[in-house]
Structure 1
Amino acid sequence: MALSFLTDNISRICYILTIFFNTSLIFLTVKFTRHIVGTYRNMIVTFAIFGIMLSTADILIRPVTFSMSLLHSYNGCFVYFTLGSAFRFSKKLSKIALLVHAGVYGLILVFLTVQFVYRAVLLSKSRKNWSRHFDGWKLVFWIFYAVSIAVIWAVSVNFVSSDEITNNYLRKMILADYGVEISTVTYNAILAYQKLFQNEEGPNKTVRWNSVQTIGTLSIIMTSHYIVMISCGIYMYHRTKLKFQNSSSAYDKLQKQFFHALIYQTTAPTLFFHLPVLFVVLAPFFDLKVSFNSSLVIYGISAYPLVDTLILLKVVKEYKNAYLSEFDFTILWNLLKKVSGFVGAIIKSCVEVCGEETPRNPQTLTNGIKNQTI
Structure 2
Amino acid sequence: MIDFEIPNILVRIGLAASFFSNFLMIYLTLFHIKKLTGTYKKMVIMFAICGIMFTSVEVIARPFSHNYNKSVIYFSLNTYLSPRTLQIFLVLWAGFFSGITGLIAIQFIYRFLCLCHIKKAKKFERMSNIIWMVYPLIPGGLFGSSFILFCIPDKYTDDYMKEIIFDTYGFVIGELSRFIIIPYDSDDCLRWKNLFPLLLGVFLVWFHYVIMLYCVFKMHFNMKKELIKFSVRHRKLHKQFFYALVAQSLGPTVLMALPVAPIFIAPLISPYIDLEISWQTGWLHLLFGLYPPFDSCAFILIVSEYRKVVKSE
TM-score, normalised to structure 2's length?
0.90
Q: Distance in 1 between matches of 2:185 and 2:106?
A: 39
Query: Structure 2, unaligned stretches of length 5 or more?
Result: none
Q: Which position in structure 1 is the counterpart of 2:281?
A: 294
SS in 1 for 2:67: strand
Tell me the amino acid that sits aligned with residue 112 of structure 1.
I
Specify the structure having the higher radius of gyration (Cα).
Answer: 1
Which residue in 1 is equivalent to 2:182? Answer: 191
Structure 1 match to 2:59: 59
Distance 1:180 1:207 in 2: 28
Aligned residue identity for 1:108? I
Aligned twin of 1:369: none
Q: Is the 8 A contact 1:94 1:186 kept in 2?
A: yes
Q: Distance in 1 between matches of 2:236 and 2:94?
A: 36
Q: Is the 8 A contact 2:66 2:280 kept in 1?
A: yes
- Computed over aligned residues only, the root mean square deviation of the Cα atoms, in angstroms, reads 2.2
How far, CA to CA, are the matches of 2:7 and 2:96 in structure 1? 24
Q: Shift of residue 278 of structure 1?
A: 1.2
Distance 2:139 2:110 in 1: 18
1:97-112 equivalence runs, <5 A: 97-112=89-104
Distance 1:8 1:214, change over 3 A: closer
Sort the Cα spacing of 1:8 and 1:52 in 2 relative to 1 into closer, same or farther, 3 A: closer
How far residue 170 of structure 1 moved from its aligned partner, in angstroms, is: 0.7
Matched position secondary structure for 1:33? coil
Q: Which residue of 2 aligns with 1:308?
A: 295
Deviates more, 1:290-299 or 1:42-51: 290-299
Match of 1:19 in 2: 19
After TM superposition, give the deviation of residue 269 of structure 1 in Å.
Answer: 2.9
1:148 aligned to which of 118, 126, 138: 138
Q: Work out which of the residue numbers 64, 83, 96 in structure 1 matches 2:77.
A: 83
In the TM superposition, residue 290 of structure 1 has moved relative to its aligned partner by 1.5
Q: Which residue of 2 aligns with 1:72?
A: 66
1:246 Cα deviation after fit: 11
Residue number in structure 2 paired with 1:347:
none
Output one character per residue of 1:194-236: Cα deviation in whole Å (capped at 9) or x when no partner: 12xxxxxxxx331221222112222222211111111111111
The 2-side partners of 1:207 and 1:305 are apart by 37
What stretches of structure 1 of length at least 5 have no aligned partner?
63-68, 196-203, 328-374
Whether contact under 8 Å (1:39, 1:136) holds in the other structure is no
Q: Describe the shift of the 1:23–1:258 C-alpha distance in structure 2 as closer, same or farther (beyond 3 A).
A: same
2:222 to 216, 219, 239: 239
Aligned residue number for residue 36 of structure 1: 36
Determine the structure 2 residue equivalent to 1:333: none
Aligned equivalent of 2:308: 321
The one-letter code sitting in structure 1 at the alignment partner of 2:168 is: D
1:35 aligned counterpart, secondary structure: coil
Distance 2:136 2:80 in 1: 27
Q: CA offset at residue 136 of structure 1? A: 5.5
For the structure 1 residues 24 and 169, does the alpha-carbon distance in structure 2 shift closer, same or farther, using more than 3 Å as the test? Answer: same
C-alpha distance in structure 2 between counterparts of 1:60 and 1:114, whole Å: 28
Structure 1 residue runs of 4 or more that deviate by more than 3 Å after TM superposition: 4-8, 243-248
Q: In the alignment, residue 26 of structure 1 is paired with which amino acid?
A: I
Report deviation, 1:276.
2.5
Corresponding residue for 1:160? 151
Alpha-carbon distance change, 85 to 107 in structure 1, aligned in 2, over 3 angstroms: farther
Cα distance 1:8–1:217, how it changes in 2: closer, same or farther (>3 A)? closer
Paired residues of 1:60 and 1:86 also in contact (CA < 8 A): no
TM-score (norm 1): 0.76
CA displacement 1:235-290 (0-9 Å, x = unmatched): 11122233348988222111111111111222343234312311121102314212
2:193 pairs with one of 201, 206, 210: 210
Q: Verify the 8 A CA contact 2:7 2:283 in the aligned structure 1.
A: no
- Whether 2:122 is the aligned partner of 1:122: answer no
- Structure 2 counterpart of 1:179, which letter? G
State the alpha-carbon separation in 1 of the partners of residues 123 and 146 from structure 2: 29
Are residues 1:131 and 2:121 paired?
yes
CA distance in 2, matches of 1:241, 1:248: 13
Per-residue deviation at 1:75? 1.4
Letter in 2 for 1:118: Y
CA contact (8 A) 2:300 2:306 kept: yes
AA aligned opposite 1:74: Y
SS in 1 for 2:185: strand
**One-letter code aligned to 1:95:** Q
Residue 93 of structure 2 aligns to which amino acid in structure 1?
A: H
SS of residue matched to 2:78: coil
1:17–1:306: 8 Å Cα contact kept in structure 2?
Answer: yes
> Secondary structure of the residue that 2:285 maps to in structure 1?
helix
Q: Following TM superposition, by how much is the alpha carbon of 1:139 offset from its aligned partner in structure 2, in angstroms?
A: 2.0
In 1, distance between residues paired with 2:181 and 2:5?
32
Cα deviation, residue 83, structure 1? 2.3
Render the CA deviation track for 1:2-24: whole Å, top value 9, x for unaligned: xx987652221111010011001
1:119–1:247 Cα change, 3 Å: closer
Task: Answer 1 or 2: which has greater helix percent.
Answer: 2
Within the candidate set 88, 91, 96, 1:96 is matched to 88
Match of residue 160 from structure 2? 169
Q: Give the counterpart letter for 2:294 in structure 1.
A: V
